[in-house]
Amino acid sequence: MPETPAAAPAALLTHAQSASSRIVDDIVTLVGHETSSYDLPALASGLDLLRDLTVQRLGRPDREERHPGGACGDTLTLTYEGTGPGHLALVGHYDTVWPTGTLSGWQQPEPSADGREKLSGPGIFDMKSGLAQGIWALKLARESGTPLPTVTFLFNGDEEIGSLSSRPVIEATAQGVDATLVLEPSAHGAVKTARKGTGIFQVTATGVESHAGLAPEDGASAITALAEFVVAAAAVADPAQGTTINTGLFKGGSGINVVAGHATAGVDIRVSSAAEQARVDAELDAIKVSDPRVRIDIDHAWNRPPMTLGPASVPLLTLAREVARSQGRPSLPDTAVGGASDANFIAALGLPVLCGMGAVGNGAHAKGEYIYPDTIPEQTALVAGMLGGVAEGGAWAGR
């Protein structure tokens, strides 16, 4: 007989434990197909693989739409009608920071100091494990017999480069559901309820070219000026306020014997508040370089707003903790992190959202990123239990 809604959360963990090896198999399948944010053919075939895997586990969706990404990976939405009230979105990106070809030669790590197994691969932690766990969460919840809400999966292929194409789809999807869970990796098991806002600034220096040996005084070096700017920009950071500034790309010049007439820098900025965002804008604009002949242009491209735990998300966090407690977890902490995600967009709209519902592991964006396979059942069961909890709450009390 189907379990009652009250009994389902604890039983879901047992069910997830029995399915753990199959969930791992699906994770390995997804990781085995590389999906660099900049490789459009690989992204297209990777999304096809992800869709096929979802259909294999859940059947054909009731509604499906593939949103072309243009210069970015496409965004896919798959909606499965529920057996109870409510509507929940599960959001995750399938692109990774790793260039195509990284998988070749990737080594598996040794177990941790306490003997726990690790499983590694490009994108396994950030965030292909979360994708597989989300699919299996709905599968396990269905098999429990508990009434479930309608579930919409949103898979986007450009999160690692700012969600430039997928942002409108993410925001529209979130506005049409009762709550959203973002399947990004957890913070060592903690839910992420606050994230920094991000800026992806391009700074351009335009100087005057001249022969470096015959007439150096006639030139105005864009490289020298931009180097001065970068050093001054680093000083604008305020780690105590959560503000960091990193110049990660620097290009310029046309020849070693030419005073550089052009240079560019890519600057990553993280802030925890709108006030810090405004301060950074003003102080970067005020930076002066020593040679007035060089013009500095700054593209203030703020990509994601800061995310905080808003009033709409508090009931969702409460539900997550209730489900975790019913499944035997003594606590489910929440935390703030420096990275940004698509949850930032949703939180900025004042909508219910929790992030970090995916893998437990470490090493995002680092060679050797890994997950702990022994945590897969509890993370999957947590999401599955929340599906039932949203249905129990009718059109969900958080809205």
Model confidence pLDDT, tens digit, residues 167-202:
999 999 999 999 999 999 999 999 999 999 999 999
Pairwise CA distance, residues 45 & 348, whole Å: 32
Report helix, strand or coil for 393.
coil
Residue 311 has pLDDT above 50, yes or no: yes
Tens of pLDDT along 116-133? 999 999 999 999 999 999
Tens of pLDDT along 85-112? 999 999 999 999 999 999 998 999 999 8
Read off the pLDDT of each residue in 250-278 and give the average, rounded to a whole number.
96
- Nearest partner of 347 among 398, 313, 397, judged by Cα: 313
Q: What is the pLDDT of residue 393?
A: 66
Residue 395 has pLDDT above 80, yes or no: no
Contact 119, 29 (CB under 8 A): no
Query: Taking CA 344 as the corner, what is the angle to CA 338 and CA 346, rounded to the nearest 5 degrees?
Result: 160
Pairwise CA distance, residues 36 & 316, whole Å: 32
Residue 6 has pLDDT above 50, yes or no: no
Pairwise CA distance, residues 6 & 389, whole Å: 9
Q: What is the pLDDT of residue 5?
A: 44
With a pLDDT cut of 70, the percent of the chain lying above it is 96
Residue 292 tokens, joined: 């007035």
Residue 216 has pLDDT above 80, yes or no: yes
Q: What is the pLDDT of residue 318?
A: 96
Read off the pLDDT of each residue in 21-35 and give the average, rounded to a whole number.
98
Phi, psi of 97 (to 5 degrees): -80, -5
Tens of pLDDT along 143-172? 999 899 999 999 999 999 999 999 999 999
What residue has token string 């709450």? Answer: 393
Residue 349 has pLDDT above 70, yes or no: yes
Residue 394 has pLDDT above 80, yes or no: no
Read off the pLDDT of each residue in 28-56 and give the average, rounded to a whole number.
98
Average pLDDT of the chain is: 95
DSSP symbols for 283-346: HHHT---S-TTSEEEEE--EEE--B---TTTHHHHHHHHHHHHHTT-S---EEEES---THHHH
Q: What is the pLDDT of residue 51?
A: 98
Peptide bond between residue 127 and the one before it cis (omega within 30 degrees of 0): yes
Q: What is the pLDDT of residue 4?
A: 41
With a pLDDT cut of 90, the percent of the chain lying above it is 92
Q: How does residue 283 score in pLDDT terms, banded at 50, 70 and 90?
A: very high
Q: What is the pLDDT of residue 342?
A: 98
Q: What is the pLDDT of residue 124?
A: 98
Model confidence, pTM: 0.89
Q: What is the pLDDT of residue 391?
A: 80
CA-only gyration radius of the chain, Å: 23
